[in-house]
Amino acid sequence: MNPLVIVFLVLLVLSGVGLIIFILMHSGKGTGISDMIASSMYSTQTGTSIIEKNLDRITIGCAVVFLLSLVVLMVIYPHGTISQ
């Protein structure tokens, strides 16, 4: 297997796991994990908005890495070219 393929497979798996974790950390109506972290670190609403913005940025970054690695793997291995 090509080392480039291994790198993109690792990126795909890590960004997929990151997406799952960071999406679950988003708070729906103030009851999420990020809200518990924010309330313990900051007692004002500005702290919550900063943490939510950073969580959004990290989630978007993971999604971009996931999609780019998926597209690269689709270009490297078109449908039906993977041999075992």
Helices (H), the chain: 3-25, 33-41, 45-76
- Name the amino acid, one letter, at 10: V
Rounded to 10 deg, the angle between the 33-41 and 45-76 helix axes is 140
> For 37-61, how does the pLDDT look when each residue is reduced to its tens digit (9 = 90+)?
665 555 555 556 788 889 999 999 9
CA distance 12 to 70: 7
Q: What is the pLDDT of residue 30?
A: 58
Q: What is the pLDDT of residue 10?
A: 95
Q: What is the pLDDT of residue 18?
A: 96
Q: Tell me the C-alpha to C-alpha distance, in Å, between residue 66 and each of 1, 18, 24, 81.
A: 20, 9, 17, 21
